[in-house]
Amino acid sequence: MTFLDKFQLLKKSIPVQAFTGIDLENCEFTDYTYSSKNCYFCFDSYKLENSMYCVSCWGKNLVDCRSTYESELCYECMDCDRCYGSTYLSTCNGCKDCHFCAMCMSCSDCFGCVGLTHKQFCIFNKQYSEKEYHKKVDELKKESPEKILQMMLELKKKVPHPASHQSNNENCPYGNHIYDSKNSYWCFTGLSLENSGFIFEGGFLKNSWDCYALGVEARMMELCYELVDCLYNYHCAYLSNSDNCTNCYYSSDLRNCSDCFGCIGLTSKKYCILNNQLTKEKYEDAVVNIKKELGWKTR
């Protein structure tokens, strides 16, 4: 029986927890959510407070948002960054008190606008005075959200779209919705990435590839490959749903482990293979043989 066959048998035999969450307070019906409080029905989120029905978000008082970071008091926003007091935004950055807008940057008090930068008191891309703006917006708010969205989408068809939506990046080609990153390739919905590639909905990653995972500002996840739903790891590969691990491979549902290979559901363990405890010397010898079987290049 090969190593991978043994690993699959072990995986089927070990019970795992029903949900994943770290440092949570009063969070109900959440999963893969970290360092958050007072949240309901939120998933894949970090540092989220007083929010509900959010996916892949970071902020406060968010409702029905997706991939919205460092934002507050927002509703129905998607692929946004650093927005405040806004509703029905799509791919907007640094906007305040904006509604039904798309692809706007550093705008405030705009309604139904598309592709504007550093603008204020605009409605459907037309400039108004402050008094005229508020009067017109009060009238528009009597219409249904569906009608206003349709009007904005008609305007969106006439506005050229950038090939990639990025903000505060350096050398990040072939990706989209990337923020505060550098030297990263083919990344999508990423935040604070460095020297990484093929990342989807990941943040605070350095020298990592092929990941759907997350670090934190003070502790970037580094030197990782093929990680899914993981947090705070270093020098790991082929992990799923594992946190605070170092030098771990082909494992899942690990917590605070190091130097583990092919393990499931362990906590605070070291030098384990297929959940069996070994000495440091026996572990290192066994790992060399397993890597050869898997086709890894070894020194």
pLDDT given at position 298: 65
Computed over every residue of the chain, the mean pLDDT equals 93
| Distance in angstroms (rounded) separating the CA atoms of residues 299 and 294 | 14
Q: Is the dihedral of CA 66, 44, 244, 23 positive or negative?
A: positive
pLDDT given at position 217: 66
| Distance in angstroms (rounded) separating the CA atoms of residues 122 and 143 | 18
- Three-class DSSP category at 137: helix
Which tokens is 96 given? Answer: 């305040």
**Per-residue pLDDT tens digits for 120-173:** 999 999 999 999 999 999 999 999 999 999 999 999 999 998 888 888 899 998
pLDDT given at position 218: 61
Percent of the chain with pLDDT over 70: 98
H runs (alpha helix) in the chain: 3-13, 130-140, 145-156, 280-294
Given a contact cutoff of 8 angstroms between Cβ atoms, the answer to whether 275 and 266 are in contact is yes
Q: Are strands 120-123 and 126-127 parallel, antiparallel or unpaired?
A: antiparallel
Q: What is the mean pLDDT of residues 205-227?
A: 86
pLDDT at 211 over 80: yes
pLDDT given at position 291: 93
**Per-residue pLDDT tens digits for 230-282:** 888 999 999 999 999 999 999 999 999 999 999 999 999 999 999 999 999 99
**Per-residue pLDDT tens digits for 44-79:** 898 999 999 999 999 999 999 999 999 999 999 999
